[in-house]
Amino acid sequence: MMEVGEKLTRRSFLKATSLGFLLIPPLKKKVERVSPSVQGKPKAILVDVRRCVGCKACQVACKSWNNLPAEETEIMETEYTNPTSLSATTWNYIRFEEVENGGSVKWTMVSMRCMHCLEPTCVSVCPTMALWKREDGPVLYNVERCIGCRYCVNACPWGVPSFDDEAKAIRKCTMCFDRIDVGLKPACVTVCQTEALQFGDRDEILEKARNSGAPYIYGEKEAGGTSVIYVSDVPLKEIGLPKVDYRTPSAFNLELLKQFFGIGIVSLIIVPVAYYLLKRGRKTE
């Protein structure tokens, strides 16, 4: 991890590890790195699977607003999901699922994106505090602080954060926080003509979900609750929404890792953090 021509001396190693240990206490706690926001009250996005027609306008709006490049797609005979997953340049996509219904098969379309958890695991495991949770919902990140450890990628129950090989940092949906800050709705919600996507205060979105008549609600309690709520008339497992524990994943923190795996796992955090701090220090010299 050292640059070519650098020499790792005993002094520099001790300096690095001592700096790394300074970051352990904040990581032992639950998510506390919450940033104040302009809007304050928790927001949420409602995804009504029953209303989605698969037009992909939300995909286009997301790329347009966030200046994300198009990805090379491929023609598939029986599958319309394209691109097929989230990536560093695709923060929102429509998944097409074939669902059996009374002896016939129908298409069910599902908008997939970051869930913006109330207590995000990605925030808990980030050793450089590059990720944080805003009080009004969005889970954001600072690419300048990201060291590419990818702990967030592995920790996310939905595997949302994607590593950008060019930027050497993670990328994901930001819930269009810059639009929220000026009183606008997220770009994807704005262009949805069937109101399959709706935006508002989380308590109001939950009330809509409960009163929607849909037999399945997802995101109210999953992973401790999220800022993206799904309603569906199709069993969740059939539309690609995995079963997630109701317990807050952030409870599985550094202290538990230390108890189960000892100091070895801690070193996996200390080394990259120390490298980041030393690298940052050299830039300011």
- Which pLDDT score is estimated for 278? 53
Q: Which residues pair with 92 in a beta bridge?
A: 113
pLDDT at 97 over 60: yes
Mean pLDDT estimate for the chain: 81
pLDDT digits (tens, 9 = 90+) for 144-185: 999 999 999 999 999 999 999 998 999 999 999 999 999 999
Single-letter amino acid, residue 98: E
Give the separation between CA 272 and CA 22, rounded to whole angstroms.
Answer: 13
Tell me the torsion sign for CA atoms 80, 86, 90, 94: positive
The pair of structure tokens assigned to 135 is: 């009080």
How many Cβ atoms from other residues are within 10 Å of residue 250's Cβ? Answer: 23
- CATH architecture of the domain with residue range 24-285: 2-Layer Sandwich (3.30)
Within 8 A by CB and 6+ apart from 129, the residues are: 26, 33, 145
Stated pTM of the model: 0.78
Within 8 A by CB and 6+ apart from 119, the residues are: 30, 31, 133, 223, 224, 225, 248, 249, 250
The pair of structure tokens assigned to 242 is: 């995995």
Residue identified by tokens 């995909």 is 59
104: pLDDT confidence band, cut at 50, 70 and 90? confident
82: pLDDT confidence band, cut at 50, 70 and 90? confident
Per residue, the 3-state secondary structure of the chain, as one string, reads: CCCCCCCCCHHHHHHHHHHHHCCHHHHHCCCCCEECCCCCCCEEEEEECCCCCCCCHHHHHHHHHCCCCCCCCCCCCCCCCCCCCCECCECEEEEEEEEEECCEEEEEEEEEECCCECCCHHHHHCCCCCEEEECCCCEEECCCCCCCCCHHHHHCCCCCCEEECCCCEEECCCCCHHHHCCCCCCHHHHHCCCCCEEEEEHHHHHHHHHCCCCCEEECCCHHHCECEEEEECCCHHHHCCCCCCCCCHHHCCHHHHHHHHCHHHHHHHHHHHHHHHHHHHHHHC
pLDDT at 109 over 60: yes
- Which pLDDT score is estimated for 191? 98
